[in-house]
Amino acid sequence: MAVDETVIRLQNVSKTFVIRDKKVAPFFTQLGWLVNGKNVRRIEALKNINLEVKKGEFLGIVGENGSGKSTLIHLMTGFYKPDKGGKAEINKSFIRLSLGLGFNQELTARENIYLNGTVMGLTLRQINEKFHEMIAFAELEKFVDTKIKFYSRGMKARLSFAVAIHADAEILLMDEFFGGVGDERFKVKSDRIFKESMIKGRTIVHVSHNLSTIKHYATRVILMHQGELVGIGTPDEVFQIYKEKLRVEKLHLRDYIDEDNAI
């Protein structure tokens, strides 16, 4: 197997969302809007993205809120389809991870472990074998039959991480999944497991605002800005571009405020 095998490929990928604004108006007025397209807004979430992810790579994705990071992950999974002319391929088993996973708030930790474990590709036998290990790792032995809706944010984060480390997939697509999980003691434990077993031998695509996590683990980073891929390279190279963009936007905002105050 070649070391540079491509496992994710995006070619000329754009994504446009069409939103119809809901307005209170007479029926025939609304009909006119539909015909003329006056109540329709088009949001270009992604614009002509070309990207290849190699097997075993840890790719970090950074950018401000609304820059298209999560949309990019959804296109990789096939949850969203690219606009006409674009192509998105993923060639290995994968799973998308986010804090909270697909937890049902009305179910207990026990029930959610079986539900999410099955979604992640684990058999019932595997879940049975790992169940107590997951609960112990999350430090939730006293709350195993408590509904998730009564959990604190930290408890949910610990449980989702404990389940996710057993995911049976070659590619992990992580959307704000890792970094700052639990208290300081749990962070040390989760960081060790993340490094020693969770990412080992896998291809990782990680969206995060936590630049320290990206810097520590990523072999390559891309910077998203207003739906465009505006930077790609090592963490240090891309962070420099990111900082410059933030500096420029801050200056533009300051100029705008000064002009507004001068009126």
What distance in Å separates the CA atoms of residue 38 and residue 223, rounded to the nearest whole number? 34
Q: Is residue 29 part of a domain?
A: no
Q: Is residue 225 part of a domain?
A: yes
Total domain count for the chain? 1
Give the pLDDT score at 160. Answer: 84
Residues with Cβ within 8 Å of 102's Cβ and at least 6 positions away in sequence, in order, are: 115, 116, 119
Q: Is residue 205 part of a domain?
A: yes
What mean pLDDT is predicted for residues 142-164? 90
| pTM summary value | 0.81
Give the pLDDT score at 262. Answer: 41
Give the pLDDT score at 116. Answer: 86
What mean pLDDT is predicted for residues 126-150? 94
The number of helices, as runs of H, and strands, as runs of E, in the chain is: 8, 9
Is the pLDDT score of 263 beyond 50? Answer: no
Q: Which of 51, 98, 42 lies closest to 72, judged by CA?
A: 51
**Residue 65: which domain range?**
6-12+53-262
Instruction: Identify the three-state secondary structure at position 38.
Output: coil
Report which residue type is found at 51. Answer: L
Q: Is residue 194 part of a domain?
A: yes
Give the pLDDT score at 185. Answer: 80
Between 153-164 and 124-138, two packed helices, what is the crossing angle to 10 degrees?
Answer: 140
Contact by Cβ (8 Å): 109, 131: no
What distance in Å separates the CA atoms of residue 163 and residue 225, rounded to the nearest whole number? 32
Q: Is residue 120 part of a domain?
A: yes
Give the pLDDT score at 184. Answer: 76
Digit-coded pLDDT (tens) for 157-204: 888 888 888 877 899 999 887 655 566 788 788 888 888 888 888 999
Q: Is residue 234 part of a domain?
A: yes
Q: Is residue 39 part of a domain?
A: no
Give the pLDDT score at 3. Answer: 59
CATH of the domain at 249: 3.40.50.300
Q: Is residue 47 part of a domain?
A: no
pLDDT bucket at 141, cuts 50 / 70 / 90: very high
Q: Which residue has the higher pLDDT, 3 or 200?
A: 200
